[in-house]
Amino acid sequence: MEGDKPTRRKSNKRYCSFCGRSEDEVGFLITGLNGNICDSCAEQAHEIVNEALHSHGNVADGLDLGLADLPKPKDIKTFLDQYVIGQDDAKRYLSVAVYNHYKRLLQTQTKDDVEIEKSNIIMVGSTGTGKTLLARTIAKLLHVPFTIVDATVLTQAGYVGEDIESILSRLLQVADYDVAKAERGIVFIDEIDKIARKGDNPSITRDVSGEGVQQGLLKLLEGSVVNVPPQGGRKHPEQKFIQVNTKNILFICGGAFDGIERKIAQRMNTNVVGYGAAKETTKIDRSNLMQYIVPQDLKSFGLIPEIIGRLPILTYLNPLDRTALRNILTEPKNSIVKQYIKLFEMDGVKLEFQPEVLDYIVDKAVEYKLGARGLRSIVETIIMDAMYDVPSENIDHFVVTLDYARKQMEKVNFSRLQME
């Protein structure tokens, strides 16, 4: 019989029934009733079985949570409140989006054929208002892969820069290259405003870092099977591509959209001729025009209509006022003041800020419009000399007074005081 040849030879050696190699050529053989299998073939069989199970399995497989165990939107917002001051509207939108993302993963096939689709988010807010901090904080709570990518380095395929598919490469790396796990993940695309169209008029030169990137993002946001290079773009051209389905990946986008207030003001100041002119116009808060943002303003800024349609949830972050900045200094678990107190504690020194010093820091941040990031710049400037001198001195207590803070700030040329 032809089929008996691999297992029965003239010698007493045993052979693998799958690859035909002898026991001398393999690590070891596993003997069965009617044949043998070597270690290499057993590993390949294991991989084939895993791939088959993942391709036919449910999206929720591997998510170690039931519907009753999910963090509710109020629980998610309470967690965010510990680290991020204010921005209640953005927190509510984000909490609901993450909760619905979990529910979408846990949905089961029913007879009514109703399938819950994802709702991607775009967050708009001035620099230093907490967009990236919200994303980093919520990542601590999640039970699905989460990654933050920067849109500023992306370019259209074929040009210098990172390919759009590198977004999913980062997600794969976070998921330890488990494709099924990555397909349940959440991606935060930061600085989305930096890929805005450079101008409304078509140009003879291609907008490879603007509109070209937006067009490439469409298939990712909508949900399609994308060929992803596991180690990134063009440095490893010989690598095999991994197919990732983005249907269940939630995308959250954030951007400062510097100057969009002018677009909002132009839209709201448009005079209406006719019956509309007689209507009472609501009083507009000029100090916070961002709260009136609508998708039309994003289009005016330079986002193409197709990408706006794939980001159906639009929310904004309020500019930080004095109270919010004062709270950011001391209240969050990871507040700036607590960080510097811990730095001094490692040298055995107790650092103390007088209350009027904190008010002075906030005044400077408001004066120079540096946002929350600017608070760190100002605190660093004030205690730079102390951080240099104190470790070499035999003291166990250092108090930052208002006079000391003013003296340190006077040394600095404010034109060079930049945000991190």
Nearest to 120 by CA among 104, 141, 101, 144: 101
Per-residue pLDDT at 206: 58
Per-residue pLDDT at 1: 44
Question: From CA 5, how far away is CA 48, in angstroms rounded?
Answer: 26
Beta bridge partners of 37: 30
Residue 118 belongs to some domain of the structure: yes
Question: From CA 35, how far away is CA 45, in angstroms rounded?
Answer: 15
Q: Is 131 exposed, middle or buried (0-12, 13-18, 19+ CB in 10 A)?
A: buried
The DSSP H or E segment spanning 290 is none
Per-residue pLDDT at 56: 41
Residue 78 belongs to some domain of the structure: yes
pLDDT, tens digit, for every residue of 402-412? 999 998 888 87
Per-residue pLDDT at 85: 87
Is the domain of 327 the same as that of 311?
no
Is the domain of 202 the same as that of 348?
no
CATH assignment of the domain containing 348: 1.10.8.60
Is the domain of 91 the same as that of 230?
yes
Residue 50 belongs to some domain of the structure: yes
- Write out residues in the chain with pLDDT < 50, as ranges: 1-10, 55-62, 204, 271-272, 277-280, 415, 418-420
Is the domain of 362 the same as that of 280?
no
Give the Å distances, CA to CA, from 62 to 177, 178, 182.
14, 11, 11
Residue 41 belongs to some domain of the structure: yes
Is the domain of 285 the same as that of 171?
yes
What's the gap between Cα 416 and its chain centre? Answer: 30
Question: From CA 33, how far away is CA 49, in angstroms rounded?
Answer: 21
Asked which of 287, 316, 345 is the last residue of a domain, the reply is 316
Tokens of 309: 């349609």
Per-residue pLDDT at 114: 81
Question: From CA 288, how far away is CA 317, in angstroms rounded?
Answer: 10
Residue 214 belongs to some domain of the structure: yes
| Contact assessment for residue 65 and residue 102, using Cβ atoms and an 8 Å cutoff | yes
Is the domain of 89 the same as that of 226?
yes
Residue 9 belongs to some domain of the structure: yes
Per-residue pLDDT at 230: 78
Is the domain of 297 the same as that of 331?
no
Per-residue pLDDT at 223: 86
Residue 291 belongs to some domain of the structure: yes
Asked which of 316, 351, 370 is the last residue of a domain, the reply is 316
Domain of 161?
A: 67-316
Is the domain of 250 the same as that of 269?
yes
- When the pLDDT of each residue in the chain is averaged and rounded to a whole number, the result is 82
CATH assignment of the domain containing 250: 3.40.50.300
Question: How many domains is the chain built from?
Answer: 3
Question: From CA 304, how far away is CA 286, in angstroms rounded?
Answer: 27
Is the domain of 247 the same as that of 119?
yes
Give the Å distances, CA to CA, from 231 to 143, 147, 235, 281.
24, 16, 8, 56
Residues in contact with 72: Cβ distance below 8 Å, sequence separation at least 6, in sequence order:
99
Residue 333 exposure: Cα atoms within 13 Å on the Cβ side: 8
Question: From CA 398, how far away is CA 176, in angstroms rounded?
Answer: 46
Is the domain of 344 the same as that of 242?
no
The DSSP H or E segment spanning 192 is none
Question: From CA 263, how far away is CA 315, in angstroms rounded?
Answer: 17
Residue 61 belongs to some domain of the structure: no
CA angle 336, 413, 352 (to 5 degrees): 30
Give the Å distances, CA to CA, from 376 to 68, 299, 352, 362, 412.
41, 34, 16, 11, 15
Is the domain of 310 the same as that of 389?
no
Is the domain of 299 the same as that of 329?
no
